[in-house]
Structure 1
Amino acid sequence: MPRLLAFLGLLALLFSGGVASAQTMPSRCTGKFVNPITDVCWGCLFPLSIGSFKIWPSARADTDNPNLPICFCGSPIPRVGVAAGFWEPARLIDVTTKPFCFPNLGGVKLSPGFQIGNGYVSQSSQIGGKGENTAKYHVHYYVYPLLYWMEILTDFLCFEQASFDIAYITEIDPLWQEDALTTIINPEAVLFTTPIAQAACAADCVASTAHLPLDPLFWCAGCNGSMYPMNGNVGANAGMEQSTRLAAERMIYKMHRQGLAWGTMGSKALCNKYIMPILKKQQYRLQMVNPSPMVSGREACSPIGGSTILPQTGRVYPVIGEDVGYLLWRKRNCCVL
């Protein structure tokens, strides 16, 4: 394992060094700490359910819950519990054009002393005679079990009992730097580059905006683009609201593909989390918390692939190299024993 990490680090230096010398980066890192009271959309907790019955309904779409309110976990003698369903704020995600910039940590920018990861800036190119905006982002993934910290329900065993942690940063991940290397974890991407496969994403865009994304179309990120490649290279940047969400959504998929995020929804998750290498997009909602928190309205925490045109227009300031933070809401079905 140490040799593998050293080899991957060497590859990252090789692939990123040339890009760094060719482009200039904005140096100012912006952001603020997330206020758990005023910056969190607490209405996104809902609906709450026991079995298939909504005990606290909501206008927001919900995933399918177990039909029966009673569940059984454990062996050889199973324990009887109540099948609860709720949404929990579980992770934070930074999306930034500047390496080692952490918007959700107050806009702090670290200086590692080497050039790895440099060169990630938005740029324009000419494709087919037309201007095409592209973007390249770094993403940071935090463990953020907010409900457990705040002790809202101290005896609720379904909460993830963990501490705040920076779980993943892409600056030192060579698979995030280069599309060719990314095929190591998403070799199936070549199957979904056809016009027919991409055209199917229009249906996912409509579904994710109106209700919930279409999980069978796992290669689509709805209105935001394609899930492949699983990195921060956005080939069609229609605006920072759209492209930063796409980078965050790809990061979520990447975490599942690498076994660092698990399934928590449905009957299968009542007793334990389960491996989910193919992302079920319905499990997540994304809420913007930096630079301008969205804390109210049906679209405050929209599903993966939901349109950003109406709910998020103008929330990213027109500053070169703006930095964005998202709070990741996760659907949890759990057997409360």
Structure 2
Amino acid sequence: MCKALMEKDSLEFTDIKEAEERIAPYVRRTPLLRSTFLSRVAQGEIYLKLENLQELSSFKIRGMVNKVLTLDDRAREKGVVVVSSGNHAIAASYCGRLWHMPVEVYVPRVTPRTKVEKIKAFGARVHIVGDSYDECARIMREERGELPDRTRVYVDSSSDPAVVAGYGTIGTEILEQHPALDQVVVPVGGGGLITGIGLAVKTLSPQVKVLGIQTEACPAMVASLRDGRAYEEYPSDPSICEALAGGIGLLPFAYAPRCIDAVCVTSEESIKEALGCLLLQDKVLAEPSGAIAAAYVLENPQEFRGKNTVLVISGGNISFQILLDQIRALAGEQNEQ
């Protein structure tokens, strides 16, 4: 276990089960859909865990609701502050409205306008700073001093145990919906999502493989596991997956041996292709980071032959421009046929 983690920052399966009961009135039990198209491509059974149909169109609400419900009244009065590429901030702003709680969010300038508008719609105060997630986080720390924040409760999207426990409820749902599962494939940015899902899956069914996927533009977790150190900041090439850019959290790095079997990368072009395939073939509207697991299947179908696999479609807050580009590309392909 990473020395940087204190005992109070530990996470166990019991935390996930408690979160499951705690957040049930506020989140949806999302459907598991068999993808006929990807199953045919892979010559296996491919299912999609549709967190794009979650409240707010993202899995992030599971973690934020669980965190807020563990805060005492005094902490809620102080409010929360978050750094986010979009979806974590949307969830924080939504919770602020739900529990009449002050919320401040820091998002980088690359955050899609659709996400920024959604954050503002729920009432949070928004700071748009920095050209990347990592730069945005540095600016937040400089402006507000050392964490934890002195005037607000800082809620980390990847290393806060209560947040990650909320994400873990996806893992318990998946195994209830598909007990005969062979493997689950999860998008990886900061690493909180795969840590929560991996802990749940490995506790209930240790034989199930947990595979993480990153964009080749920012393979922070791949590099961290390779080098044996957590890269909390990591450079990113231009990417369609702004939600997966930046470094990883200390908690995910510490729990990786327990929760993750492997982390692989996929190309930006395959992610774009996966967006179109999900939309055209399965009528699933995913944002780029939510389609990354499907992209890996398209690139490496042989790894899924004869297996029962669940792909986590983590969100559907796609920018209008990217959606328009996809529709135009699909329309062009159909006209050529």
Structure with the bigger percentage of helix: 2
TM-score over 0.5 for the alignment? no
* TM-score under structure 2 length normalisation: 0.30
